[in-house]
Structure formats: C-alpha cells, structure tokens
Amino acid sequence: MIFKSPHYCIFVQNISGMNTTDQVEKILADTNLSTELQNIAHKVLHGERISFDEGVYLYEHAELGYLGVLANFVREQKHGDKTYFNRNFHLEPTNLCVYDCKFCSYSRLLKQKEEGWALTMDQMLDIVKKYDDEPVTEVHIVGGVLPQYDVAFYSSLFTAIKQHRPDLHVKALTPVEYHYIFKKAKIDYATGMRLMKEAGLESIPGGGAEIFHPEVRDQIAKDKCTGEQWLAIHEEWHKLGMRSNATMLYGHIEQFWHRVDHMEKLRELQDKTGGFQTFIPLKFRNQHNQMSNVPEVSVIEDLRNYAIARIYMDNFDHIKAYWAMISRETAQLSLNYGVDDIDGTLDDTTKIYSMAGAEEQNPAMSTKELVNLIKQVGRKAIERDTLYNVVTDFEHVVFEEEKKPAYYKLPVVN
C-alpha cells in the first residue's frame, strides 16, 4: 500500500519558501502519517541512521513527496545547493566479453565478435591524445572482459597514460575485471591492487556491483565476481588509502529488500574503511539484452529510489545520477530527491547507455549545457575533479563560445 497525503506532491518546490528543516517539521506535524513514517522522519531530522527494516518500509509505503522532503533535507545538510559534475571522457577498450550477464546490452560474446571492437594499446593511447588540448580532468576506463587485457596490459596502459599526461586522473576497471585478471595472474587482491596503484591507477568506478544478493546475482550475472568478492576488492583498495565508488542496478527482478541488503553491505564497508565517495543507482534498461521481457520501472520509481538511497546511505558523501542514462530532465528532477552529482560531459565517448536503450543516443554535453541544466533548477554548478576538489565554481562564470571536442569513432573488429 502506498501512503497518501494531500500535503505533498511530486515537486518538492511546491512546499518551498520553507527551509528544509521546516519542510520536515511540516510532515512530522501531519496526523495522517503512519507511526513508522513519523519515526523515520524524526530520525532523519536528528541525523540518526535508519535501520534495514525501515529502509524496506520506505520502499513499500512511502510516497514520493514524503521521500523528497527527507532526501532533500539530507542533501542540503551535506551540500546546500551545490551540484557537482566533471569534465571527463570514457575509454572503452572492448565490448567483447567472456561473461554473459543477462541485463547487458553492451557486450558481445566472442562468437559475435564481428559486432564488437577490441582496441590495441596504441589505439587507446591515440584516444587519450585526442584530448591533449581539452580541459578534461579524468579518463574513465571500463568495458568488457577479455583474456588479452591482463595485469601486464593494464599496468602498461595506466603507466603510459600517466607518463603522457600526469594531470589526467585514471579511474579504471571494476572488481569484475580485477577479479578476473588477478585470478589469471595467480595473485591475491591485496597484491593486485598494489600493483595497479603502482602502475598509475588512481580510483575505481562503481560498476559491476549490480545486486549483491546471490538470489538475484545468480540469475542475472552468474559467472562474474560475487558480491563478497566485489566488496573485498574495494576494501583492499581502500586499505591503500585510495577512493572508489559504488553502483546498484535496480528495477529488474530484484525485490525491495534486495536493494536494501545491497545498500546495507555498502554502508557496513563504508563504516569500516571510509573509502567510498559516491553511490550511483543505475536504472535497468531493457533494450537489446536477454531481459527485454522485464518492464522498466517508472520515473517516479527512479526518483523514489534516489531519495531512499540518500536517506539510507548516511555515510556516503554523494549520490550521483547519470544524466546520459536517465535523460536530462529526470537528472534535473533528481536534484530535488537527494542527488548532488550528475556525472560528466562524456563527449559521446560511451556506448554503455545508448546500447541499453537510454534516451541519449549520443551522450555529450558541453560544459555550458551542463552548467545551464543545473542552474535551470535553481542549483549551483560546481565542476569537480574525480576526488571532489573544486575545479570551478560556475556561480558567476560568463561563458565564451566553446569549441566542441573532436568525436572519435569506435573501430570494429573484423
């Protein structure tokens, strides 16, 4: 049953004019609110952590308006109106993959290699060099898993990128790749992550997490690293004093409690290491994959999910929405439901979202467009680097005409 109240509607701004504390006080004063929702609102207002059961209760009973008020309260306590983005590009070495995740629209099994690409080291470095005159701060490297991309290959790649451009932050690969290449090299996670760091790796993106619980993971991503292995690799990375991010693929066959279980495991590891920066809920898209019969969830459910993530993940600094995955308009809306980061300029360098059916088929936004997207909904645009150091506060910046960076085509394997 969904809780209904006449006081809150989809847009949190409709009770604006009040500060966020007053907004929470207003819902606490509502005598129609269930005791459970009263208790949760009280906890959030006083900075107390909500429990696993309360997380599940929110998914099952809380309406969007209520969630938006609480999530926006937490968001503004942490960041005010600041909304972060970065200038980055993706480097996707291959879309061929030894695994066969049912939700994946991106990968092609080896037998379908005519539909795929697999870049050489030189081709990858050529892509990096195309950005030499661009003010990008990060290269985000992620793709499929292939035997030729091993510890030695990735070590050489990271080192070569850092030698060519020391100021470019290398954010690369996920525990899916790391588990595979370390196993092949017969080295443990601690040794492997130390080698990657020495080679030039600076942070790990959040991918490969999907849903940790084996009830779901075994059905959608059976052969790749388990949830425990994903967490163990991030833990080893954090022990080296390094930072990483975490995702959750939601809106397919999982139940609400699987989502809370996933967030709980991340929250526990974060209590232990403090190494995570950002939690990124990823919406399941159903085009061109083996789960096309599973309907996608609505935008309302997307916003509810962002909001519950913001309320639940109290020890994560940032909640991110990928604008390229959920559309520009939903990304704008999400800024009132706990999100404070909408990713980067991308420059049309990723196929991961478009191949899964995202609205953005050629995802690229100029800095000016991204800043305007954020400002249009009354938030402050902050360009950050990968580690959330402020590069530019755009509050008073006036744009000159911008040069659009070069587009590169992905080669096809014959």
Span from 41-49, 93-101, 249-257, 292-300 in contact with ligand SF4 (CB under 6 A): 93-101
Would you give the binding string for ligand SF4 spanning residues 169-208, x where CB under 6 A is met?
-------x--------------------------------
- 101 touching ligand SF4, by CB under 6 A: yes
Within 8 A by CB and 6+ apart from 366, the residues are 345, 402, 404
- By beta-carbon proximity to ligand SF4, the closer residue of 106 and 230 is 106
- 144 touching ligand SF4, by CB under 6 A: yes
Q: How far is the CB of 55 from ligand SF4 (least distance, A)?
A: 26
Span from 13-21, 94-102, 159-167, 237-245 in contact with ligand SF4 (CB under 6 A): 94-102
Q: How far is the CB of 18 from ligand SF4 (least distance, A)?
A: 43
Q: How far is the CB of 288 from ligand SF4 (least distance, A)?
A: 12
Q: How far is the CB of 228 from ligand SF4 (least distance, A)?
A: 17
Helix axes 175-185 and 189-199, enclosed angle (nearest 10): 110
Q: How far apart are CA 319 and CA 333, in angstroms?
A: 14
**Would you say 160 and 121 are in contact if contact means Cβ atoms under 8 Å apart?**
yes
Q: How far apart are CA 255 and CA 250, in angstroms?
A: 9
- 349 touching ligand SF4, by CB under 6 A: no
DSSP line for 15-59: GBTB-HHHHHHHHHT-TTS-HHHHHHHHHHHTTPPPPHHHHHHHH
Residues 395-414 that bind ligand SF4 (CB under 6 A): none
- By beta-carbon proximity to ligand SF4, the closer residue of 177 and 302 is 177
Among 179, 224, 328, 351, binds ligand SF4 (CB under 6 A): 224
Burial of 46 (0-12, 13-18, 19+ CB in 10 A): exposed
DSSP line for 97-113: -S---TT-SS-B-GGGG
- 249 touching ligand SF4, by CB under 6 A: no
Within 8 A by CB and 6+ apart from 250, the residues are 211, 259, 281, 282, 283, 284, 297, 305
Applying CB under 6 A, the residues found at the interface with ligand SF4 are: 97, 99-101, 104, 106-107, 144-145, 176, 221, 224
